[in-house]
Amino acid sequence: MGSWTTQNDARQRRLAAGGQFAQGKAVAVDKLTSFLEAVIHPGDRVCLEGDNQKQAQVLAQGLVGVDPQKVHDLHMVQSGIVLPEHLDLYERGIARKLDYSYSGPQSRRITTMLADGKIELGAVHTYLELFARYFIDLTPNIALIAAVCADKHGNLYTGPNTEDTPTIVEATAFKGGLVIAQVEKIVDSVPRVDIPGDRVHFVVETGKPFYVEPLFTRDPALITETQILCAMLAIKGIYAPYQVQRINHGIGFSTAAIELLLPTYGEALGLKGKICTHWALNPHPTLIPAIEAGWVQQIHSFGSEVGMENYMAARPDVYFTGADGSLRSNRAFCQTAGLYACDIFIGSTLQIDLQGNSSTVTATRTAGFGGAPNMGSDPHGRRHPSTPWLKAGEEANPDMAPALRRGRKLVVQIGETFGDKNTSLFVENLDAILLADKLKLELAPVMIYADDVTHIVTEEGIANLLLCRSSAEREQAIRGVAGYTELGRGRDAALVDQLRQRRVIQRPEDLGIDLLDADRRWLAARSVKDLMVASGGLYNPPSKFRNW
Amino acid sequence: MSDALRPITSWYESTARQRIAGLLDRGSFTEYIGPEQREMSPHLDLFDLPKQFDDGIVIGEGQLEGQRVYAAAQEGRFMGGAFGEVHGAKLIGLIRAARKHKRDVLISFDTGGVRLQEANAGEVSIAEIIRAILLARADGVRVIGLLGGRAGCYGGGGLIANCCSSLVISEQGRLSVSGPEVIETNHGVEEFDSKDRAFVWRTMGGKHRYLIGAVDAFVEDDIAAFRAAARTALAKQARFDLALVQAEQQRLATRLQRLGSLTDSLQIWKALGVEAPESISSLPTEAFLAASQTVRECADEAR
């Protein structure tokens, strides 16, 4: 038997090689590429911190600059493929294999590169899945991460955008790997320690903040009356009867509409304090009016949102904040919270098939999954009861003995029957199947599987799939809310009528909702400026959202 | 309708019909060539595009504090409020009638310019509207432009607005000829980043237009505020003669000389003498008016 310390020995060699470019832990940015060539070995597994929001963009640029003769065949394991550099690594022959979660802005290019065989794909994961594999079979040798600032010991302050960093560092630093952080500044003392310095081996001072995009800001000015109608249906037809208090929202305009309707429509229905009190949610600016009106008790966040920093720091009763006063986010914990501690997930999608499978991919775009499949799935490891969970379980299995009956998480898909560019939300076959075929994937990238979906909400009404007793009923329930789309027009009118009698399908009028009532006047804020005003000037919207 | 709904008072949020209804005395408006007559675009069918019964503009007569006026409002939510053949013809007819009957006109602009699908007819109508306005003004009619709609006032709409006797704008209002996307497409993102909305508004928005004297009144985004400003504008002397046009030409030449080399509105505001230019965008209406009153340029009515 040989050595038991090969990994730690390798780290010592990397530390020695890298140390030649460093003063203490600090590596000058102009030596970055040579430094990376010295510490990264061919075939290494590398996590280049690309999260949903923040990006280690300077380290990404440095890595793209390395000599492919020296550094090649890297296996990238990172949640977000967001920057062009993330894919340039494959064009330049530096990286070969990829395991990832989400590729929003690069979804088209990554699809082309996968089809051309330029990237050897491991798998597309959900966030929790990828994080889990960091500790089992995808442990990084090198982590290239991003923080706001560091002290000379390497203690890191990540600020509100902590996101994936603790998870990546945990997996790398405790298993013989090397952790390299980019920071804007090296300071005497950090405002709070998000990552302890003994887990950080090198620090690169860049003089500029890490790249971050506001992904969760929805301009209320763009919310349509149809989306408001869908929001009214969800509040009155789902939130109220199930008494949903612990909740996760997707990032679409329909859910933004729900957030803006809570202090107006929700208030008029007498629901304040009864629903939507505890959240797993990014800091959506559209939730500000509900927070200010006293609807929200607490929110845990996956990441931060540009412009919301001061507002959150001023509302520590609502948000999780550190000793320095600013938000502490954590994607892995919040995903876990969304999976196990929330009773409902509600989000938009691009395509739903006749059994209720849904997907956001099209034949030319592989956006990946992110976290929605975690939120939008029924966790079989859940054991604690709650009113909505038990009620949904009872609807699904009325004949089962209550003490043995599993509850159900509410998983709601919400959207207009005709979406962007008048494309139908409802399709016979998901484009995900075409894409899987094209890329020779074993699994079609399905965002939410049919057996997890409990409700579909469109402007035509709510389909409660928990109450369907056969796949034929399920199909008609879905066709029944598909409106004038081709699949909607293909419904069996008599069966749909029966389903409506049984309240499997509920039309707006069945819920006492007047279509003429679906009006923008319900929106507690009708512009980004209204949101800023509602926050008492604490919310500081990014320039791209201002119309003043 | 639910009692919990408060009426919308925002001009920006309102439809063309809501604007007209709030602008004029309650119940005084009579529409001409209304949607029931289905006078629709003869061109859009060719492109398989949806039409609207009023072709995106409401015209008619009504009263403002008892004074009889003509009024028109573009609907920015139909094809960006763009001028098509019918749309343009309705406005031409209204202004010609104003000249004939010596009655003032209020126009709520909400337009991206000419409708590309009927560009020739749209361009001709822009020219005809300009001609009609200038003739009417020469005969003593006031034409008041109201700028605060979602689509802004661009293209030919910008040209027409600048022929009006008086312009009222809100912070949300935008007035220009080429729109942000057009400039970016033709001159590159370095020249004009159309996605930087704060930059767009600082360059074309209500506050900037008011400070450089491209418009005459700045009001809160509120229907009642537009109504009050329209009333004030109607009370002004109606004047349109050679001396006025020459004076405005002189003002613009001086402005170009003085500010032409500056590349951002913040520099222009500073050059005008605004004390804290960077704070202008975030000032509420009252404070903005106070900060701008002594330093802003004023347009002659020739515009």
CATH of the domain at B227: 3.90.226.10
Q: Residue A5: inside a domain, yes or no?
A: no
What would the 3-class secondary structure string for B94-159 be? HHHHHHHHCCCEEEEECECCECHHHHHHHHHHHHHHHHHHHHHHHCCCCEEEEECCCCCECCHHHH
Q: B298 touching A, CB under 8 A?
A: no
Q: B8 touching A, CB under 8 A?
A: yes
Task: Enter the DSSP assignment of A104.
Answer: G
Give the pLDDT confidence of A474-517 residue by residue, as tens digits: 999 999 999 999 999 999 999 999 999 999 999 999 999 999 99
Among B1, B10, B150, beta carbon nearest to A517: B1
Nearest to A349 by CA among A270, A258, A445: A445
- Chain A nearest CA to B14, separation (Å): 10
Mean predicted lDDT score pLDDT of chain A = 96
pLDDT at A1 (0 to 100) = 67
Are A268 and B2 within 8 A, CB to CB?
Answer: yes
Among B5, B197, B282, beta carbon nearest to A547: B197
Give the pLDDT confidence of A59-75 residue by residue, as tens digits: 999 999 999 999 999 99
Q: Residue B252: inside a domain, yes or no?
A: no
Could you give the CA distance from residue A120 to residue A113 in angstroms, rounded to a whole number? 9
Task: Enter the DSSP assignment of B6.
Answer: P
Q: Residue A251: inside a domain, yes or no?
A: yes
**Across chain A, which distance is largest between two alpha carbons, in Å?**
78
Are A548 and B5 within 8 A, CB to CB?
Answer: no
Whether residues A97 and A129 fall in one domain? yes
Task: Give the up-direction half-sphere exposure of residue B97: CA atoms within 13 A in the CB hemisphere.
Answer: 16
Contacts B199 to A, Cβ<8 Å? 543
Q: Which long-range contacts (CB under 8 A, 24 or more apart) does A395-402 make?
A: A395/A464, A395/A466, A395/A467, A396/A454, A396/A466
pLDDT at A207 (0 to 100) = 97
Whether residues A306 and A442 fall in one domain? no
Between the alpha carbon of residue A234 and those of residues A287, A392, B246, the distances in Å are: 16, 15, 62
Nearest to A388 by CA among A234, A243, A240: A243
ipTM of the complex: 0.75
CATH number of the domain where residue A40 is located: 3.40.1080.10
Among A522, A544, A548, beta carbon nearest to B5: A522
Strand A156-157 relative to strand A149-150, pairing: antiparallel
- Chain A nearest CA to B286, separation (Å): 15
Average pLDDT for B267-284: 93
- Chain B nearest CA to A427, separation (Å): 24
Nearest to A348 by CA among A396, A416, A299, A426: A416
Among B7, B10, B201, beta carbon nearest to A547: B201
Are A521 and B8 within 8 A, CB to CB?
Answer: yes
Q: Residue B286: inside a domain, yes or no?
A: no
Contacts B170 to A, Cβ<8 Å? none
Burial (Cβ within 10 Å: 0-12, 13-18, ≥19) of residue B194: middle
Whether residues A511 and A523 fall in one domain? no
For the record, the structure tokens of B284 come out as 């509420």
Q: B282 touching A, CB under 8 A?
A: yes
Q: Residue B25: inside a domain, yes or no?
A: yes
pLDDT at A194 over 70: yes
Average pLDDT for A529-533: 93
Q: Residue A315: inside a domain, yes or no?
A: yes
Q: Which helix (H) or strand (E) holds A280?
A: strand A278-280
Give the pLDDT confidence of A293-308 residue by residue, as tens digits: 999 999 999 999 999 9
Q: A426 touching B, CB under 8 A?
A: no
CB < 8 Å from B in window 495-524 of A: 514, 516-517, 519-522
pLDDT at A104 (0 to 100) = 83
Whether residues A399 and A469 fall in one domain? yes
Task: Enter the DSSP assignment of A349.
Answer: -
Task: Determine phi and psi for A66, rounding to 5 degrees.
Answer: -70, 160
Whether residues A179 and A156 fall in one domain? yes
Strand B30-32 relative to strand B57-64, pairing: antiparallel
Q: A224 touching B, CB under 8 A?
A: no
Q: Which residue has the tokens 């009155």?
A: A236
- Chain B nearest CA to A283, separation (Å): 22
Between the alpha carbon of residue A439 and those of residues A75, A121, A216, B144, the distances in Å are: 19, 10, 30, 61
Strand partners, A319: A299
Strand partners, A202: A180
Q: Residue A7: inside a domain, yes or no?
A: no
pLDDT at B1 over 70: no
Contacts B198 to A, Cβ<8 Å? 543-544, 546, 548
Are A520 and B10 within 8 A, CB to CB?
Answer: no
Q: Of all residues in chain B, what percent are helix, strand and coil, respectively (each to 5)? A: 45, 15, 40
pLDDT at A411 (0 to 100) = 98
Whether residues A205 and A94 fall in one domain? yes
Whether residues A493 and A371 fall in one domain? yes
For the record, the structure tokens of A441 come out as 């994937």
Give the pLDDT confidence of B184-231 residue by residue, as tens digits: 999 988 889 998 889 999 999 999 999 999 999 999 999 999 999 999
- Chain A nearest CA to B194, separation (Å): 9
Range(s) of the domain holding residue A441:
345-517
Whether residues A330 and A446 fall in one domain? no
CATH number of the domain where residue A463 is located: 3.40.1080
Binned at pLDDT 50, 70 and 90, residue B2 comes out as low
Binned at pLDDT 50, 70 and 90, residue A199 comes out as very high
Instruction: Identify the three-state secondary structure at position A153.
Output: coil
Could you give the CA distance from residue B274 to residue B296 in angstroms, rounded to a whole number? 8
| Identity at A197, one-letter amino acid code | G
Q: Residue A332: inside a domain, yes or no?
A: yes
Whether residues A238 and A382 fall in one domain? no
Q: Residue A135: inside a domain, yes or no?
A: yes
Whether residues A352 and A427 fall in one domain? yes
Give the pLDDT confidence of B65-81 residue by residue, as tens digits: 999 999 999 999 999 99
pLDDT at B5 (0 to 100) = 66
Nearest to A496 by CA among A510, A509, A480: A480
Whether residues A466 and A524 fall in one domain? no
Q: Residue B257: inside a domain, yes or no?
A: no
Q: Which residue has the tokens 């007035």?
A: B175
Which of the given ranges, A112-116, A293-297, B45-49, B294-298, has the highest pLDDT on average?
A293-297
Could you give the CA distance from residue A279 to residue A281 in angstroms, rounded to a whole number? 6
- Which parts of A389-533 are beta strand (E)? 410-414, 455-458, 461-464, 505-506
Q: Residue A334: inside a domain, yes or no?
A: yes
Q: Residue A17: inside a domain, yes or no?
A: no
Binned at pLDDT 50, 70 and 90, residue B57 comes out as very high
Strand partners, B72: B59, B107
pLDDT at B265 (0 to 100) = 94
Q: How many domains does chain A have?
A: 3
A493 near A479, Cβ under 8 Å?
no
Q: A267 touching B, CB under 8 A?
A: yes
Q: Which chain B residue has its CA at the smallest distance from A545's CA?
A: B197
Q: How many domains does chain B have?
A: 1
For the record, the structure tokens of A531 come out as 């949101």
pLDDT at A260 over 80: yes
Contacts A516 to B, Cβ<8 Å? 1
A76 near A49, Cβ under 8 Å?
no
Range(s) of the domain holding residue B56:
16-175+215-240
pTM of the model: 0.89
Give the pLDDT confidence of A361-419 residue by residue, as tens digits: 877 888 889 999 999 999 999 999 999 999 999 999 999 999 999 999 999 999 999 98
Whether residues A317 and A363 fall in one domain? no
| Per-residue exposure over A73-106, b if at least 16 CB sit within 10 Å of its own CB, e if not | ebbbbbbbbbbebbbbbbebebbbbbbbbbbbbb
- Chain B nearest CA to A521, separation (Å): 6
Q: Which helix (H) or strand (E) holds A127?
A: helix A127-134
pLDDT at B3 (0 to 100) = 56
